[in-house]
Structures are given as C-alpha cells and as structure tokens.
Amino acid sequence: MLENKARTPISEVGEFGLIKHLTENIKLKHATSLKGIGDDAAVIDNGGETVTVVSTDMLTEGVHFDLTYVPLKHLGYKVATVNFSDICAMNAVPKQLLISIAVSSRFPIDALEELYSGILIACERYNVDLVGGDTTSSVSGLTISATIIGEGIKDKLVYRNGAKEKDLICVTGDLGGAYVGLLLLEREKGVFASAPGAQPELEGNDYILERQLKPEARIDIPMLFSEIGLQPTSMIDISDGLASELMHLCTQSELGAQLYEEKIPLDPMTYERAREFNLDPTTCAMNGGEDYELLFTINADDFEKIKGNPDITVIGYMTDKNSGVNLISKSNSSHPIVAQGWDSLKK
C-alpha cells in the first residue's frame, strides 16, 4: 500500500529528478564502497591496486525497444554492449555479466534463444563471461536487466567529477547516427502500418541502422589511453545525447563549458538523412542519444597525445561555472545548452 498520500507525478521531475529524490540522503557505510550512486558505475575497493566496477541497466519492451523492427538477436547484443559501455566510461574493462529477464507467455523458447545468441556473441567479442541472472514471468512484454562487473586500476579510474577549468572536451567516433537510424526504422514501421505488405526501404543506410540496432562499446579507448599514457580528467558514455552527458560532467565537476558546433563529429550519412527528415544534424547529435561513444576531458598539455587520432575529436573546453554551458554555433553565436536528452519518465 502507498503510505504517502501526497501525489507528485514522476513526469514532473523526470528520470534524473527521480533518482535524486530517491537517493540523495543515502550514506555509504563501508570503506570498500569507494563510489556509490552518481557515476557510470559504482566502485568497490578490494584493498589492492585493482578495483571492481559495477553497473546495471534495464530495457523494457515498448519503452526502449520495439520488436516490430528490432531483431531479438540484435537486442541481446545491444543489452550487453550498452552495459559494457558504462564500464568503459570508468576507464575499466568489463569482465562478468548477469542477465535477468521477465517474459510473457507470448514469447516462444526460440525467441529467447535468439536473444541469448546475441548476448553471447557480444560476450565472446568483448571477452566477458555470462555468470548469472534471474528468470521470471511478466504479464505483458519483455523486460531485460543486465548487471556488468568490470575491473579497473584504482589510480586510473575516471569519474564524472574530475574535470578542471580549461580542460579540452573530447569525444570518440561520431554522433547522432543511432537517433537518425531510429527515425528511419520508425518511418518504415509507419509505412508498413498504413500499407501492410509494403517492403521497408532501408537499403543504403547500413551504418546508421547498425548504430541503432547493434551499438558497440568503446572498449578500445581505455586500451588506447593506457598505450599512449593518457589519463582523462573526467569521462561519461553518451547514452542520452551529448548535451545531457556534458551537463553531467559540468554539474559534477562544478564547471561550465564552451562547445563548438562545427567541431561536433557527424558521419555524412547521419548528416544527409537528418536533413531529409528536416532535422538539424547538430540537434540529433546533441539530443539524440544511444551513440555509446565516450565523452571525456583532458588537460590541455595532453593534447599532443591525441592529436591526429581520427577517432578522437576535440569539441570544446571547460570553463568556470558562472560562464554556463554554451554551444557556439557555426555562425559564431552563443547558445546556452539545455539537456533535452531522451528521458523515459518525462512527459
């Protein structure tokens, strides 16, 4: 029974507001709980040089995925890789995965086999062991929860709150593709609904469709940092869009930021398809989400270490808090950034 009679709708505060509301008074009891709520993963101190990092994520049918166009094998792969991504965002390496499913009677065993084949392919590729989980029934649809355990070196972990003023803001890969891929899938679903039997027109869009359906975690980046001897000052993975993630780095590091629109890396296909949808490609990168690239900051003195790397782009720098978080447009005007990233709990 609900004891508290006052009713505040969740949609008023959204996902982050709700998490804050529920967790802000939590105090950690154990010295081994090195990092609790608030980062891409929690950190557990084992007393030695290495630490354990843990993160969990849940995907719900109808909210996070639509099985009319998402193959279950891809879904399995994605559930795994999006969890690996949170470990990479700590500058750590994913090692063990637990998968829990709540499934309705609508799903035959074969469907769940498909899901698991995708999970296991990801585990194979990323050298992760599937070590447990839970299975239960659901009254409607499919919900999948994954918990990932990773390993990191205590002194090399990267948190969201370590950025310093004048640090360079860097991003891996390119942004916005996963969102434009989603729009394409949604469009074809709409076409199919109005004309059953119509064949989806998806040809020639492999890159953005893969970005949406089969994202990869940037496990190569912690390895690269180790090879080139680079210690980022802060880091987060891009699950909800560049704007939202940059806001997290700024809030937690108590800084502002200056971002340059012209520097934001976009794939040509993302750019063209966004335009066809009458969307601003920059907006897709800022607010689209699900790219699972890494956003991180480095000391400007470390620039030489990443200079010329085609996989890393410097997109701005950190400023003092009072300057706010701003996007400098291609026409050189400054616009305050508001995180409008995807939030399943907002209206």
Interface residues with Mg ion (CB under 5 A) are 40, 86, 237
Ranked by CB distance to Mg ion, the top (closest) residue is 40
Q: Are 237 and 293 in contact (CB under 8 A)?
A: yes
| Stretch touching ligand ADP by CB under 6 A, among 32-40, 147-155, 296-304, 334-342 | 32-40
Residue with smaller CB distance to Mg ion, 216 or 237 = 237
Site for ligand ADP in 98-137 (CB under 6 A): none
Binding residues for ligand ADP, how many (CB under 6 A)?
10
- At 311, the amino acid letter reads D
Spatial contact of 248 and 172, defined as CB atoms under 8 Å apart:
no
Q: What is the DSSP string of 216-280?
A: ---THHHHHHHHHT---SEEEE-SS-HHHHHHHHHHHHT-EEEEEGGGS---HHHHHHHHHTT--
- Is 258 an interacting residue with respect to ligand ADP (CB under 6 A)? no
From 18-26, 69-77, 145-153, 197-205, give the range in contact with ligand ADP by CB under 6 A. 18-26
Residue 38 binds to ligand ADP (criterion: CB under 6 A): yes
Stretch that binds ligand ADP, among 19-27, 113-121, 274-282, 303-311 (CB under 6 A): 19-27
> Can you tell me the distance from the alpha carbon of 99 to that of 191, in angstroms, rounded to the nearest whole number?
34
Placement of tokens 């679903």 in the chain: 189
CB 44 within 8 A of CB 88: no
- Residues 220-249 interacting with ligand ADP (rule: CB under 6 A): 239
Counting contacts by CB under 6 A, is residue 14 touching ligand ADP? no
Binds 334: which of ligand ADP, Mg ion, none (CB < 5-8 Å by kind): none
Residue 33 touching ligand ADP (CB under 6 A): no
C-alpha to C-alpha distance for 184 and 250, rounded to whole angstroms:
32
Residue 39 binding target from ligand ADP, Mg ion, none, CB below 5 to 8 Å by type: ligand ADP
> Count of CB atoms within 10 A of residue 307's CB?
9
